[in-house]
């Protein structure tokens, strides 16, 4: 869409010029009279000037088409004047996606451009997980007098997809809710495993490797050794993506949802590597659901959803969030035998209520909560105190909470909490 408008740059010049001309005649001053004549000429030119014809060819190139989160990507915008008129005052603002922060240079350019000439705009952005579509650059061109300007958008489509490499080196502390599949969570039943559980009378078909030959030689009794079975857990990793969860400690810092989605990817990958069945869900204005599963295809699906699904966007959605209906939607999809890893900053009572309701329904809940609060002002200190109170309330309800300071690695917070639970 193209808009033509006047800038009112020469407003009042005509009156001042006529006044100067009158004073020049009144006092017989040729210099004052001449200034009035020049002013009238400028005013007349500004009134008769036409809007500049803007014909531009704009291309945008990226230095890296497949960056990782945190990488710097250099963006170069090339603008060519393919028209026949000179553009004496050309201003361009590139359409940088909201989630990409400009870390070097500027996404703005001001220049004059003759026909056939080109201008270059170069800046760098920090890659952030997700699909990012650049908007068309905004172009504003003025005529020589600056009295008339044309505002338009130059067609230039560019998309950047950032998919992180997932994984963590620290085990995720799960609770004892398991499935019938073999995995790493120990149970109170005997079978195949590595930890001794007990012995029982030999049954036909028992593996010879589990026969207690020493006891047979000593007493003549044929018995079978049983080990503590390890089963797989069914886990759904739920990320709090409400607008209220997009909290950050300061301007320009990463928000709690970004930390939560990154943590969800690392946790899901670790659990899948351990043989557990893992699902994903977003609890916010936009819904996303991936039922618990395993295997390479499931891992790839989870990775792509966390990286590109709009429900996990690094910036808040403008859609309305309905707490009751969204919670019902989640509860209907959770398998009966699954436990929940809930990633929420605990910025309000919603996180506490949600964790308690899911736990009361039989889904063992573990809350992983990144701390987005600061301590610089009385209001920030109050918010931090309220969050600490919510953590204590959950722990008093026998719900495990991982209190994660973003200055620490996720693995450090998980290991610290695991030691606390084992103590």
Render pLDDT for 386-418 as a digit per residue (tens, 0 to 9).
Answer: 999 999 999 999 999 999 999 888 888 888 877
Question: Which band of pLDDT confidence, cut at 50, 70 and 90, is reported for residue 257?
Answer: very high
Report whether pLDDT(423) > 80.
no
Report whether pLDDT(269) > 60.
yes
408 Cβ contact partners less than 8 Å away, ≥ 6 residues apart: none
Alpha helices in 309-365 (DSSP H): 323-333, 349-360
Which of 64, 63, 405 lies closest to 259, judged by CA? 405
* pLDDT in the model for residue 27: 62
Q: Give one DSSP letter per residue of 162-201, joined into a string.
A: E-PPP--SS-----S---SSEEEEEEEEEESEEEEEEEEE
What percent of the chain stands above pLDDT 90?
47
* pLDDT in the model for residue 182: 43
Domain ranges of the chain: 3-48, 56-162, 182-231, 234-422
Report whether pLDDT(67) > 60.
yes
DSSP helix/strand/coil, 30:
helix
Q: Beta-strand (E) ranges in 11-157?
A: 56-62, 72-81, 87-95, 101-105, 108-113, 118-126, 130-142, 148-153
Report the DSSP pairing between strands 130-142 and 148-153: antiparallel
* pLDDT in the model for residue 418: 76
The one-character DSSP state at 155 is -
- Pick the more confident residue, 139 or 53: 139
Which of 315, 307, 314 lies closest to 290, judged by CA? 307
* pLDDT in the model for residue 184: 46
DSSP helix/strand/coil, 125:
strand
Contact indicator for 98, 131 with CB cutoff of 8 Å: no
pLDDT tens sequence across 338-365: 999 999 999 999 999 999 999 999 899 9
The one-character DSSP state at 170 is S
* Percent of residues in the chain assigned helix, strand, coil, to nearest 5: 30, 35, 35
* pLDDT in the model for residue 178: 46
* pLDDT in the model for residue 171: 64
Token pair for 12: 């009042």
How far is residue 8 from each of residues 14, 140, 146, measured CA to CA in Å?
A: 12, 16, 9
User: What is the CATH topology of the domain spanning 234-422?
Assistant: Rossmann fold (3.40.50)
pLDDT tens sequence across 18-46: 555 565 566 666 665 556 555 555 555 55
Token pair for 21: 């001309």
Backbone angles phi, psi at 6, to 5 degrees: -90, 150
What percent of the chain stands above pLDDT 70?
79
Task: Calculate mean pLDDT across residues 130-156.
Answer: 85
* pLDDT in the model for residue 388: 95
Burial of 349: CB neighbours in 10 Å, binned 0-12, 13-18, 19+: exposed
pTM of the entire structure? 0.70
* pLDDT in the model for residue 387: 95
Q: Which CATH entry fits the domain spanning 56-162: 3.60.130.10, 2.60.40.10, 3.60.10.10, 2.160.10.10?
A: 2.60.40.10
Question: Which band of pLDDT confidence, cut at 50, 70 and 90, is reported for residue 244?
Answer: very high
Q: Give one DSSP letter per residue of 362-394, joined into a string.
A: T--EEEEEE-----SSHHHHHHHHHHHHHHHHH
- Pick the more confident residue, 156 or 169: 156
* pLDDT in the model for residue 134: 94
Task: Calculate mean pLDDT across residues 229-241.
Answer: 80
Handedness of CA 368, 372, 374, 380 (dihedral sign): negative
State how far the Cα of 44 lies from the Cα of 106, in Å rounded to an integer: 37
């Amino acid at each position: 869409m193209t808009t033509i408008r006047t800038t009112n740059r020469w407003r009042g010049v005509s009156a001042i010029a006529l006044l100067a001309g009158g004073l020049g005649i009144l006092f017989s001053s040729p210099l004052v009279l001449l200034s009035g004549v020049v002013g009238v000429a400028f005013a007349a030119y500004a009134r008769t000037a036409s809007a500049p014809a803007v014909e531009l060819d704009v291309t945008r190139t990226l230095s890296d088409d497949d960056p990782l989160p945190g990488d710097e990507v250099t963006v170069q915008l090339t603008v060519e004047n393919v028209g026949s008129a000179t553009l004496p005052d050309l201003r361009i603002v590139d359409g940088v996606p909201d989630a990409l922060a400009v870390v070097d240079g500027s996404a703005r350019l001001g220049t004059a451009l003759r026909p056939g000439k080109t201008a270059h705009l170069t800046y760098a952005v920090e890659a952030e997980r997700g699909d990012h579509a650049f908007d068309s650059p905004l172009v504003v061109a003025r005529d020589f007098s600056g009295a008339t300007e044309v505002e338009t958008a130059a067609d230039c489509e560019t998309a950047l997809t950032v998919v992180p490499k997932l994984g963590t080196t620290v085990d995720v502390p799960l609770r004892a809710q398991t499935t019938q599949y073999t995995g790493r969570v120990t149970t109170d039943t005997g079978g195949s495993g590595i930890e001794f559980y007990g012995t029982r009378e030999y049954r036909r078909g028992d593996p010879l490797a589990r026969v207690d030959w020493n006891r047979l030689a000593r007493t003549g009794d044929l018995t079978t050794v049983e080990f503590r079975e390890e089963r797989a857990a069914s886990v759904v990793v739920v990320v709090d993506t409400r607008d209220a969860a997009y909290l950050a400690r300061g301007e320009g810092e990463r928000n709690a949802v970004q930390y939560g989605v990154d943590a969800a990817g690392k946790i899901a990958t670790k659990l899948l590597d351990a043989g557990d069945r893992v699902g994903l869900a977003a609890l916010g204005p936009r819904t996303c659901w991936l039922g618990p599963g395993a295997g390479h295809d499931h891992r790839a699906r989870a990775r792509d959803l966390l990286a590109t699904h709009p429900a996990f966007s690094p910036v808040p959605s403008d859609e309305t969030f309905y707490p009751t209906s969204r919670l019902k939607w989640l509860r209907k999809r959770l398998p009966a035998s699954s436990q929940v890893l809930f990633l929420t900053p605990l910025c309000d009572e919603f996180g506490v209520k949600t964790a308690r309701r899911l736990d009361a329904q039989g889904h063992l809940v573990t809350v992983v909560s990144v701390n987005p609060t600061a301590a610089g002002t009385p209001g920030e200190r109050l918010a931090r105190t309220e969050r600490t109170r919510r953590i204590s309330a959950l722990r008093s309800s026998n719900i495990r909470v991982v209190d994660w300071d973003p200055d620490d690695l996720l693995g450090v917070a998980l290991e610290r909490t695991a030691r606390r639970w084992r103590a």
